Amino acid sequence: MGADADEWISEAKSAGIRYFVITAKHHDGFALWDSSVSDYDLGSTPYKGDLLGDLAKACRKHGIKLGFYYSHWQDWRHPGGALPPWDNMKQPSQEAFESYWQNVSLPQVQELLNRYDPDLLWFDTWGKYASDFITSERRDELIAMIRKESPKTLINGRISYHDPGKDIDFLETGDNAHPEKNLGMPWQTPATMYHSWGWHANDFNWKPSKTLIKLLAQNSTLGGNYLLNVGPKPDGTFPLPAVKRLREIGGWTAANGEAIYATIPVSAKPARGVRHTRRVLDNGTHRLYSHILDPLTDDKLILPVESDTIISSKVLETSQPVKFKSIAGGTSFDLGSLMETETSIPVFYIDLKRLPDLYKEKN
């Protein structure tokens, strides 16, 4: 039994995912479409469909943004492509790489833009030789071509990991890296559900759903996104542990997505294990969301908020009122009943007449 593009995107949408990134070409050099500049591609296989085109249609149908991962410097198939940055690997000459750059890398990115109209491109550089090949001149040449062909398409910081320049749209952290502060511009963490990136039948180190949700919430409070990887099985289906986690994440985002999507990050951490996001409601009320990432002492949370500025305080999922009282230095919130019943990451919100200065800081 296989899976089609609509099944993949339906599963992603149910998980609360807003954009989907497929590996169009990885370091092995195989293009997942029928490329006019390479015969090491999907067109050279018995499969004669348009896999990326099907995904693009499914994304448009379900309102999901589409992105492509493209390995623009490493290409183990082409004689001019860069190789892994290991000491025993003889890297190509600059002349050979320039041939690859002009005749494969740039044309293939152009093909992806013109054929499939992606919303973002996910480039990947790493290691000690990356800057030898992706120089500032080549970086800027690639960016200029993308801006010309598709001004809407976003570009990530790993286009040149050591020096992304100023004309990128968002930063990319290291793999499974979660910063402890706002990075000053949009960013995301590329992350795995278990140790491996691709399908691995003997990798049983699956991260609990609660851990994945916690990292999602943590990133959002600091202005970051969470690009969570799924490695499909050989028949094209998602592994059952991945499906289970996607659906559990989807259940959480269905109940608590208001505290994640289109919110303003709040870096202030007035209590250990608690992070915040916020928004301004249409009526001018300030809504502060508190994500309880770790257990609280006595199920009490103390925040530096003046009680007389609070309009209401409720559990986001159920609208159950949260009791609070004024104390020296702020307000104490009683989360006992919430902490007793919640098995994931609980979120409650406080509607305020005015926002304390502490929560206005983004960095």
Q: d(Cα 330, Cα 276) in Å, to the nearest integer?
A: 16
Q: Picking from 72-76, 250-254, 324-328, 356-360, which range would have the lowest pLDDT averaged per residue?
A: 356-360
Which residue in 248, 254, 340, 244 sits closest to 292, CA to CA?
340
pLDDT of residue 270: 63
Quick check: 114 pLDDT over 60? yes
E-only strand ranges, 196-341? 224-228, 264-266, 274-280, 286-292, 300-303, 310-315, 323-327, 330-334
**What pLDDT shows up at residue 1?**
35
Q: Check residue 361 and give its pLDDT.
A: 59
* pLDDT exceeds 90 at position 87: no
Strands across the sheet with 300-303, in order?
Answer: 300-303, 330-334, 323-327
What does the pLDDT look like over 321-349, one tens digit per residue?
Answer: 999 999 998 999 999 877 766 678 999 99
Chain segment 145-189, per-residue pLDDT in tens: 999 999 999 999 999 988 999 999 999 999 999 998 899 999 999
Dihedral (Cα; 158, 162, 164, 166), 10-degree rounding: 150
Gap between the Cα atoms of 53 and 61, Å rounded: 12
Query: Average of pLDDT values for 223-250?
Result: 96
Q: What is the pLDDT of residue 269?
A: 65
Whole-Å CA distances, 162 to 98, 100, 136: 20, 22, 10
Domain 264-360: CATH superfamily, name plus number: Golgi alpha-mannosidase II (2.60.40.1180)
Enumerate the CATH 2.60.40.1180 domain ranges in the chain, comma separated.
Answer: 264-360
Amino acid in position 54:
D
Among residues 292, 293, 290, 300, the alpha carbon closest in space to that of 351 is found at 290
Q: Calculate what percentage of the chain has a pLDDT beyond 90.
A: 85
Predicted model pTM: 0.93
pLDDT of 36 > 70? The answer is yes
CA max distance for the chain: 72
Q: Regarding predicted confidence, which is higher, 356 or 105?
A: 105
Number of Cβ within 10 Å of residue 357's Cβ equals 9
pLDDT tens string 217-228: 999 999 999 999
Question: Average pLDDT for residues 280-309, to the nearest whole number?
Answer: 92
pLDDT at residue 2, as a whole number: 55
d(CA 285, CA 279): 9
Q: What is the mean pLDDT of the chain?
A: 93
CATH of domain 5-259: 3.20.20.80
Average pLDDT rounded to a whole number, residues 75-103:
94
Average pLDDT over residues 130-137: 95
Residues of the chain above pLDDT 70, percent: 97
Going by C-alpha positions, the residue among 62, 139, 152, 169 that lies closest to residue 113 is: 152
Helices 51-62 + 5-14 axis angle, to 10: 40
Domain span(s) for CATH 3.20.20.80 in the chain:
5-259
